[in-house]
């Protein structure tokens, strides 16, 4: 009898262990996932015929526009700060105003964004503007 009980208890403990492991692996990972960039317009690594007027970024969760920072990372020289604003209809979207004199070649945009859960996203996005023909 004692063996049957301890065997059953061992199986129950193992089952509970696997349920907890699965929960942490799948269920909790989504709950504690940090904000991340989902897409942008223009898209990362795009090659554009003309320089865009703005950059639109979609994140997987709401972000705090007041604490967002964007800048151009030039090949040489100092970073160039950019202005941004939140989308009025979707708190996951930020819109960055780009300079009118954006030169041809690769454009590296660095950013620091605060999500509503308090975590930050620090990354960069690059697209290329073709030289005029």
pLDDT tens, residue order, the chain (133 aa): 555 555 566 666 565 555 455 545 554 444 456 889 999 999 999 999 999 999 999 999 999 999 999 999 988 889 999 999 999 999 999 999 999 989 899 999 999 999 999 999 999 999 999 998 7
pLDDT of 77 reads: 83
**SS3 assignment, position 92:** coil
Other Cβ atoms closer than 10 A to 59: 21
Report pLDDT for 29. 44
Residues ≥6 apart with Cβ < 8 Å to 120: 112, 113, 114
Nearest to 132 by CA among 70, 22, 49: 49
Give the residue ranges of DSSP H helices in 1-133. Answer: 2-22, 28-31
> What is this structure's pTM?
0.74
């Amino acid at each position: 009898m004692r063996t049957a009980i301890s065997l059953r208890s061992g199986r129950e403990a193992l089952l509970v262990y696997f349920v907890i492991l699965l929960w942490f692996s799948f269920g909790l990972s989504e709950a504690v996932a940090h904000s991340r960039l989902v897409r942008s317009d223009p898209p990362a690594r795009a090659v554009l015929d003309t320089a865009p007027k703005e950059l639109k970024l979609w994140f997987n969760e709401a972000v705090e526009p007041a604490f967002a920072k964007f800048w151009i990372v030039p090949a040489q020289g100092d970073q160039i700060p950019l202005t941004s604003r939140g989308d009025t209809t979707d708190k996951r979207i930020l819109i960055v105003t780009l300079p009118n004199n954006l030169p041809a070649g690769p454009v590296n945009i660095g950013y620091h964004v605060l999500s509503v859960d308090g975590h930050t996203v620090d990354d960069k996005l690059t697209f290329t503007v073709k030289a005029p023909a």
